[in-house]
Amino acid sequence: MGKLTLSDVIKLLLVLLTASLPLAAQESAAASEQVAAVEQQSSPDSQQEFDEDFVIASLLISEPGGALYSRLGHAALHLQCPEHNLDYVFTYASEDILQKPFTFLSGKLKMGLIAISPDEYLEDYRNQGRGVREYALNLPIEAKRNLWRILDNHLMEGQDLEFDYIRRGCAQSTLMFLKEGLNGARTEGQSGEMRLEFNQWPDFFEGASRREITYEHLKEHRWTTFFMHFICNGIIDHLNCTNEQKTIIPADLPFILSHATVDGVPVIDREPEEVLPDVWQPKKERFSPMVAAVLLLVLTIVCALLKIKAWDYVLLGIQTILGIAAVWLLLFSSLCCTEWSWLIIPFNPLPLIFWKWRRRWALPYAVVLLVWSAFMLLWPHLLTDGAYIILTLAIVTSYLGIFKNIVIVYE
């Protein structure tokens, strides 16, 4: 057997890679081959001139949906080359969160950029009744050609990227792709590179954390914010991040890009086209997490007055379950935004572990929880969901018989 050449090794690796990719990634690879053919014919070294419509670029903004992962909506780039019958939507896709919830929470979920037909992309939104708007991107032909190359390169990264909804979120990724495509393109007859200039950002970006920006858009979905408060912490509360890093809501992109310019020309300068009507209506929540927490607090007070000790074990169970989940996310999960959680202070399994000696630690721990509650109220950018504060006060009440001047309830 002869020696393997470098070309043979590369071919072998490509065969193995293709065999290991899921169906969506194989479609992306097929799109990539077609794109490469276009790029070969339209390389910068070619003397051929192209019309502005040789490549048509647009931004697709999808309305929010009912699933937790779709509450913020979605953004994708739509590129067409009519001359070569190429028409693809470039979008990040991941493994199904609903089918692999523990994989998601452990940070092991995978994602990657795919290229699919517009019909396939829109089918899912049509079935959900979610609206889709399309904004034409007013970009020079050199920038659109280079943007296609950039997306082609990201397609080659495959579907094995770590799922990261902060650094690879659809809105932030869209800005990243546009910057890469524009900043690498050269204007015909000029030696300098084009620059994407951001001239204005939404007013609410000023002094706000990414948590506050996100929850401003989710204020009608109180159980969603309650859940996200539990799993999203750490860097999402940082204030020293750029405006581009704060761009995590797809619906903010049209405003940002309508005020962004390339050589003084707005990137978006016309009204959007409604591709799909928005007919989905969110279900009205019958009660909020705050209502549930207040009811728990009232029940705790009543049980403390009536000296019903069994209720203390119910609260201990709630505290322990949330505590185990919080500790697991902090210590064992690689999911983004789980670096630290302030909820680890009121919700952890230590009370269960040291329950036998509760007379010794109940009072000082209750004081710590009261200080924690005040801290959460005084620092708005670290403010957790108010329901967690009320739930913490219920735990404090179970430790202290404050309504009968009893320091330690347990005997």
For the segment 227-251, what is each residue's pLDDT rounded down to a tens digit?
A: 988 988 888 888 888 999 999 999 9
pLDDT at 107: 87
Residue with tokens 């020696």: 3
**What's the chain's average pLDDT?**
82
Least confident interval from 96-100, 132-136, 176-180, 388-392: 96-100
- Confidence class for position 31, pLDDT limits 50, 70, 90: low
Average pLDDT over every residue of 374-385: 74
Question: Residue 3's pLDDT band (boundaries 50, 70, 90)?
Answer: very low
Strands of the sheet containing 132-136, edge to edge, are 161-162, 110-116, 86-94, 74-81, 56-62, 132-136, 273-276
Q: Quick one: pLDDT at residue 184?
A: 64
The pLDDT assigned to 292 comes to 95
**Taking 90 as the threshold, does the pLDDT of residue 64 lie above it?**
yes
What is the per-residue pLDDT for 69?
A: 79
Better-predicted residue by pLDDT, 178 or 16? 178
Mean pLDDT of 18-33: 45
Burial 313-323 (b: 16+ CB within 10 A, else e): eebbeebbebb
The pLDDT of residue 45 is: 47
**Residue given tokens 């890469």 in the structure block:** 180
pLDDT of residue 236: 87
Confidence at 133, pLDDT banded by 50, 70, 90: very high
Q: Tokens in use for 116?
A: 């699919």
Angle at 149 between CA 143 and CA 153, to 5 degrees: 140
Length of the chain: 411
Higher-confidence position of 73 and 409: 73
Which carries the bigger pLDDT value, residue 2 or residue 310? Answer: 310
> Between 317 and 184, where is the model more confident?
317
Kindly state the percentage of the chain with pLDDT values over 90.
45
Whether residue 362 is predicted with pLDDT greater than 60 in this model: the reply is yes
Distance CA 257, CA 67 (A): 27
Q: pLDDT higher for 90 or 17?
A: 90
Spatial CB neighbours of 231, under 8 Å, sequence gap ≥ 6? 105, 329, 335, 337, 338
Average pLDDT over residues 357-362: 85
pLDDT at 53 (0 to 100): 77
Band of pLDDT at residue 77, cut at 50, 70 and 90: very high
pLDDT for 39 equals 52
322 Cβ contact partners less than 8 Å away, ≥ 6 residues apart: 230, 343, 347
Average the pLDDT over 88-93 and give the result.
93
Calculate mean pLDDT across residues 278-302. Answer: 91
- Tracing tokens 């064992």 back to the chain, one arrives at 332
In this prediction, residue 167 carries a pLDDT of 82
Mean pLDDT throughout 183-199?
70
Report the pLDDT value the prediction gives residue 152, as an integer from 0 to 100.
92
Q: Distance of CA 356 to CAs 28, 324, 359, 369, Å?
A: 59, 19, 8, 20
* Strands lying side by side in the sheet with 265-266: 196-198, 260-262, 265-266
Q: How confident is the model at residue 36 (pLDDT cuts 50, 70, 90)?
A: low
pLDDT value of position 403: 38
**Can you give the pLDDT at residue 37?**
56
CB within 8 A of 165, min separation 6: which ones? Answer: 336
Average pLDDT score over residue span 157-179: 88
Confidence of residue 49 (pLDDT cuts 50, 70, 90): low
> 37-41, 82-86, 237-241: which has the minimum mean pLDDT?
37-41
Residue 280 backbone dihedrals phi, psi, to 5 degrees: -70, 135
Question: Which comes out higher in pLDDT, residue 168 or 114?
Answer: 114
- At residue 64's C-alpha, the angle toward residues 206 and 329, to 5°, is 70
Q: Is the pLDDT of residue 148 over 90?
A: yes
Segment 347-368 shows an average pLDDT of 90
Which of 18-27, 240-249, 302-311 has the highest average model confidence (pLDDT)? 240-249
Beta pairing partners, 56: 80
Looking at per-residue pLDDT, the higher value among 136 and 4 belongs to 136
